Amino acid sequence: MRASRAFSSVTRSVFAHAPPSLDHVCIVCKDVRKSITFYERVLGARHLYKDDPNFGVDPAFLQIGSAQVALLPLAAGQTQIRDHNGAHFAMTCKDANDFATIKASLSSDLAAHGTNAHVQFEDYGRQLSLFFSDLDDNILEITHWKTS
């Protein structure tokens, strides 16, 4: 039987007394400007730092609720997210009625903004999820955690 060794680091000790929070999620897109418009109109994102030459468009930082999303241009040979079981990002919808409203209208909202209107609903028991794509087929999720 191998003896276990406790792992410790300076980073771990700093995080123990000052827990980190997620800063941002980064996704790639073919046309950053079109994607900014999509996220603003469909998800109500706010474009941060738009006048900053280092963060205005390459990358573009958006705020959706308390989360930030960085949009970067797709580099040659780079591929996008294609499977919701892999890398994707999720936004929480805390209210069950709001989630039901989004579920009923998301497909038509997406179609109205020129993207794939397919929405995949999953009921995981304690969690409900809506998976859909942005303009570049990056996978997004809106999730609701049941409280009872």
67 and 103 co-located in one domain: no
68 and 96 co-located in one domain: no
pLDDT at residue 82, rounded to an integer:
61
The Cα 84–Cα 132 span in angstroms is 9
The 3 state secondary structure assigned to 29-82 is ECCHHHHHHHHHHHHCCEEECCCCCCCCCCCEEEEECCEEEEEEECCCCCCCCC
51: domain CATH number is 3.10.180.10
pLDDT at residue 104, rounded to an integer:
94
Q: What domain range includes position 95? A: 83-148
**Contact at 8 Å (CB) between 45 and 63?**
yes
First CA to last CA across the chain, in angstroms? 43
pLDDT at residue 81, rounded to an integer:
60
Tell me if the pTM is above 0.85: no
**Contact at 8 Å (CB) between 131 and 119?**
yes
pLDDT tens-digit series, residues 38-82: 999 999 999 999 888 877 777 899 999 988 998 988 888 777 666
**Contact at 8 Å (CB) between 38 and 32?**
no
119 and 136 co-located in one domain: yes
88 and 146 co-located in one domain: yes
Higher pLDDT, 129 or 4: 129
pLDDT tens-digit series, residues 86-135: 567 888 998 999 999 999 999 999 998 888 999 999 999 999 999 999 98
